[in-house]
Structure 1
Amino acid sequence: MRLATIRTNAGTAAVRQDDDQYVVIAPYRSVDELLGNPDWKAVAAEARGTVDEGTLIPVDGAELASVVTHPGKIICVGLNYRKHILEMGRELPEYPTLFSKYAETLIGANDVIELPVEDEAIDWEAELAVIVGKSGRRIGQDEANDYIAGYSICNDVSMRTWQFRSVEWLQGKNWENSTPLGPVLVTTDEWTPGGTITTKVDDETMQKASTGDLVHDPAFLVSYISTMITLNPGDVIITGTPGGVGHARKPQRYLSDGQVLETTIEGIGTLRNVAKAVVTAAAAL
């Protein structure tokens, strides 16, 4: 199944995508709310809609919210693509580098990315997102896939000047309205890692790699993170970015006002976001 959260006149709604139509999964307002029901798979599969009732909506023209809207946790992984690490002359990490994002950073698959006036070094990071489907603590790696609801796409847009003000990355990763997540959650019975992940800026390819090249795969990450803390339905694990980020280029390249950032994972879909400079009241004076 392919699940999404869309915006409607009555608020947001969880939907199932059937080809060119969305079927509303009432009464759930988002995919994360739906995942809170232990029977979410059956509920989503059995949903039926009609045009007259407004529960059958054309995909064309629908407005996508972030696929999960209020995750309890967004846990990110750094340095996790094997080929990229080796070509940089580094050793493969024994343990994952982890940091957190907050829900206020999330935007929909076609929403505007806000470029804050406080940083001019704003970079792209295409990433595979793992969305948790049920609660668990100290989950064994051999059973971890059972805790994954499905996969989505994220771009961990990063404010590099702020990120490298210290050895901790959090302050460069948590700017509001900067992180597209979507367009859908594809369930694990329909998609597994291996498809190509790509970033384009104004149609120029910047990143391209296989999602099968992860050092620490989704099952390991679910098991490892759940050793520390309970994972809950709707939590998101963002699995790291491949080579090709702007900060590592010579000369360095960053997002600017009006550019179009496209993030694609083969078999899942595409995020298409326009970058827009934010003019604050103070900056306008």
Structure 2
Amino acid sequence: MKLLTYIERDGNRLGIRTEQGVIAVAEAASKAGIAAPRTIHEAIEGGAEALSALKKVEDYVLTAGHDAAESLLLSESALSLAPCVTAPSKIICVGLNYRKHAEETNAKIPEYPILFNKFPNTLTAHGRDVALPRATNKVDYEAELVIVIGKKTKYVSREEALHHVFGYCCVNDLSARDLQLRTPQWMLGKVCDDFSPLGPYVVTADEVGDPNTLAISCTVNGEVRQSSNTSDMIFPCDEIVSYISQHFTLEPGDIILTGTPEGVVLGYPPEKQVYLQDGDIVTIEIEKLGSITNRMVNEPT
């Protein structure tokens, strides 16, 4: 199931993306008399029972007659989307987690996952403009797979780790390289406003299957810059979730950014490094998860 969050005047609404359109969950559930989640976090926290209710809503709409379903199906292109996970309590990132990316940046292959964090101010959605901060002129793209935690998770084994995952989505882990490399701690280059475009959907784990066999790419103005597969991860998704859970508790709705493959601007020779500019269109695409596109714009003075 593909879940998204769209914005109406009275706030965020939960939608189910189908081939026929986006199901307006609140309206459809009310019409069908089904007690279903009304937000993405209710869906995540509700687990299997919540997903079962959403499936009933989906079936109700898709099997209804044309006239009955028409008012409950929205055109995706007409919607204003929010980040697909709207309020994670933690945004955890794994650095240098693709072997070829570590090699292109002349970095040592890490012995343990390199962890850092981002904050909710970095979240934005598919279709939104991202302002290039005035404090930097070296903003880089990073296509990444995101793990969305579905259960309270502490001390979980690798064998059980993926059973604690609700689903997956795409993110562009935008990075200001000059700020990132100013000190050994990367945070400053990672936490500028809107530096984590997230979406467009959370795709449930059952629909994704193995998260470490997915094609992943980034294009800038239609030019392919990154093209890889999540199988190149040094620490695969089950190991990441298990490792983090040995140190602190993961809560439903927490998100983990799992690292980026080769092809980032930082990996080019210095004379060929051209960072993101005003007007650049960046698209991150991951197999089974869809794609998220954002335009870079100069920050207003």
Q: TM-score, normalised by structure 2?
A: 0.87
Partner of 2:76: 59
Query: Could you tell me how far 1:223 is from its partner in structure 2?
Result: 0.8
Query: Could you tell me how far 1:240 is from its partner in structure 2?
Result: 0.2
SS of the residue corresponding to residue 246 of structure 2 reads: helix
- Equivalent of 1:45, from 35, 41, 55? 55
- Equivalent of 2:128, from 87, 111, 114? 111
Query: Could you tell me how far 1:90 is from its partner in structure 2?
Result: 5.0
List alignment gaps of at least 5 residues for structure 2. 27-35, 62-67
Say yes or no: does 1:253 pair with 2:237.
Answer: no
Say yes or no: does 1:152 pair with 2:162.
Answer: no
Which deviates the most, 86-95 or 68-77? 86-95
String of CA shifts for 1:146-167, please: whole Å, max 9, x gaps. 1111110000001112111110
Alignment of 1:1-285 (within 5 A): 1-26=1-26, 28=37, 30-38=39-47, 39-47=49-57, 48=60, 55-86=72-103, 91-191=108-208, 192-193=210-211, 194-250=213-269, 251-280=272-301
Equivalent residues of 1:30, 1:69 under 8 A apart: no
Query: Could you tell me how far 1:102 is from its partner in structure 2?
Result: 0.7
1 or 2, which has the higher helix percentage? 2
SS of the residue corresponding to residue 89 of structure 2 reads: coil
Equivalent residues of 1:247, 1:253 under 8 A apart: no
Query: Could you tell me how far 1:143 is from its partner in structure 2?
Result: 0.5
**Structure-2 change in CA distance of 1:84 and 1:120 (3 Å):** closer
In 2, distance between residues paired with 1:265 and 1:248? 21
Partner of 2:30: none
One-letter amino acid of the structure 1 residue matched with residue 128 of structure 2: D
In 2, distance between residues paired with 1:152 and 1:5? 13
SS of the residue corresponding to residue 242 of structure 1 reads: coil
In 2, distance between residues paired with 1:58 and 1:184? 15
Query: Could you tell me how far 1:29 is from its partner in structure 2?
Result: 5.2
One-letter amino acid of the structure 2 residue matched with residue 265 of structure 1: I
In 2, distance between residues paired with 1:190 and 1:243? 27
Q: How many residues align?
A: 279
SS of the residue corresponding to residue 127 of structure 2 reads: coil
**Structure-2 change in CA distance of 1:30 and 1:278 (3 Å):** farther
List alignment gaps of at least 5 residues for structure 1. 281-285
In 2, distance between residues paired with 1:44 and 1:93? 41
Q: TM-score, normalised by structure 1?
A: 0.92
In 1, distance between residues paired with 2:54 and 2:192? 33
One-letter amino acid of the structure 1 residue matched with residue 206 of structure 2: D
SS of the residue corresponding to residue 154 of structure 2 reads: coil
One-letter amino acid of the structure 1 residue matched with residue 112 of structure 2: Y
In 1, distance between residues paired with 2:42 and 2:175? 28
In 1, distance between residues paired with 2:193 and 2:104? 33
SS of the residue corresponding to residue 43 of structure 1 reads: helix
- What is the Cα-based RMSD across aligned positions, in Å? 1.8
In 2, distance between residues paired with 1:76 and 1:163? 14
